[in-house]
């Protein structure tokens, strides 16, 4: 008589912080992937600056070195758990199982900027994952990339009456107030972006912040904004060029997500030489 096979039991096992660098190195060639080396490096840098930051890097059953399958969960204090995930394998079964292991949380999960190859995984995950308790709302973006050669041509010519500088933590309230994707307590997220990542702000002669661009945890340009009073002065393009050069100087790739309907922004990025390399998605 045959003995029935025991049902496979999977679980998420935390990857120790001292191993995060090794995980990042596995993704060294994934330097334009939303959840590639820049994303992992972002959280390595963040926890170095704020060791108590609630960031967990998880693997399926503790086995991550073979194909680099991982999840990152981050409690941003905004009623959302930011979720990042990836695998080096073309077979998505293990990373799917890893996401399915997510446990229910008092906070909702935000699938933060994943690439197109995971689209079907996320769209179907709510049917099998006990940690996802509602139908996900999914937004797509055009995923742009500017090569180092393109960024090397960028100039930073500042109009009269405008001063460029690093953003200050006190600017977070202004930025969050007119951010189209703001949510309850999202100002905490904006503060961390300002505190831990490179950024750029444009200030008028009175010291008022009139334009800005920040860097997202996935390494991309984000939260680009120009006040209505200062539009049509080329400040949006200036913010992109200035921050792109900062990121390029770090040795990182310059990428940016733009919603397809924002034809003005898409035209600006394409005029600067950015090329579409993928479609990205946010889901919550």
Q: pLDDT at residue 183 above 60?
A: yes
55-69, 145-159, 173-187, 229-243: which has the minimum mean pLDDT?
173-187
- Percentage of the residues of the chain whose pLDDT score is greater than 70: 96
Q: What pLDDT, in 10s, does the model give residues 234-280?
A: 999 999 999 999 999 999 999 999 999 999 999 999 999 999 999 99
Q: Is the pLDDT assigned to residue 94 strictly greater than 60?
A: yes
Q: Any idea where the domains of the chain sit in the sequence?
A: 12-136, 148-278
Phi, psi angles (nearest 5°) of residue 140: -100, 155
Min mean pLDDT across 28-42, 94-108, 227-241, 247-261 is at 94-108
DSSP string computed for 128-191: T-TT--SPPPEEEEEEEEE-HHHHHT---PPPTT-EEE---GGGHHHHHHT-TT--TTHHHHHH
Q: What is the pTM of this model?
A: 0.94
Of the candidates 113, 142, 164, the residue with the CA atom closest to the CA atom of residue 274: 142
Burial of 110 (C-beta count, 10 Å sphere; 0-12/13-18/19+): buried
* Closest C-alpha to 282, from 203, 210, 216: 216
Distances (CA, A) of 242 to 104, 152, 166, 200: 41, 11, 11, 7
Residues 6 or more apart whose CB falls under 8 angstroms from that of 142 comprise 257, 258, 259, 260, 266, 276, 279, 280
The residue behind tokens 């799917």 is 96
Fold of the domain built from segment(s) 148-278: Aminopeptidase (3.40.630)
Question: What integer pLDDT is reported at residue 77 of this predicted model?
Answer: 76
- 82/84 Cα distance (integer angstroms): 7
Kindly indicate whether the domain formed by 12-136 is annotated with CATH number 1.10.1270.20.
Answer: no
Look up residue 141 and give its two tokens: 């973006």
> Are 12-136 and 148-278 the same fold in CATH?
yes
Q: List pLDDT tens digits, range 193-225.
A: 999 999 999 999 999 999 999 999 999 999 999
Contact 38, 252 (CB under 8 A): yes
Q: How far apart are CA 214 and CA 222, in angstroms?
A: 5
Task: State pLDDT tens for residues 109-145.
Answer: 999 999 999 999 999 987 777 777 678 899 999 999 9
């Amino acid at each position: 008589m045959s003995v029935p096979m025991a049902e496979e039991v999977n679980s998420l096992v935390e990857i120790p912080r001292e191993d995060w660098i090794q995980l990042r190195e596995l993704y060294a060639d994934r330097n334009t992937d939303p959840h590639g080396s820049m994303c992992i490096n972002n959280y390595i840098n963040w926890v170095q600056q704020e060791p108590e930051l609630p960031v967990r890097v998880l693997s399926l059953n503790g086995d991550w070195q073979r194909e680099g399958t991982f999840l990152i969960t981050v409690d941003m204090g905004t009623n959302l758990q930011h979720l990042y995930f990836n695998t080096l394998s073309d077979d998505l079964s293990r990373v799917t199982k890893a996401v399915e292991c997510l446990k229910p949380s008092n906070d909702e999960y935000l699938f933060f900027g994943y690439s197109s190859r995971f689209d079907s995984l996320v769209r179907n995950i709510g049917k099998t994952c006990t940690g996802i308790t509602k139908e996900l709302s999914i937004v797509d973006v055009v995923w742009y990339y500017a090569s180092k050669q393109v960024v090397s041509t960028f100039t930073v010519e500042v109009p009269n009456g405008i001063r460029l500088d690093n953003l200050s933590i006190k600017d977070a309230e202004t930025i969050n107030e007119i951010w189209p994707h703001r949510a309850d307590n999202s100002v905490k997220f904006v503060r961390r972006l300002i505190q831990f990542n490179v950024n750029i702000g444009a200030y008028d002669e009175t010291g008022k912040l009139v334009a800005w661009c920040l860097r997202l945890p996935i390494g991309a340009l984000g939260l680009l904004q120009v006040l209505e009073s200062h539009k049509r002065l080329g400040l949006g393009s200036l913010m992109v060029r200035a921050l792109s050069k900062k990121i390029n100087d770090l040795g990182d790739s310059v990428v940016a997500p733009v919603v397809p309907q924002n034809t003005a922004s898409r035209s600006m990025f394409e005029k600067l030489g950015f090329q579409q390399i993928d479609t990205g998605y946010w889901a919550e």
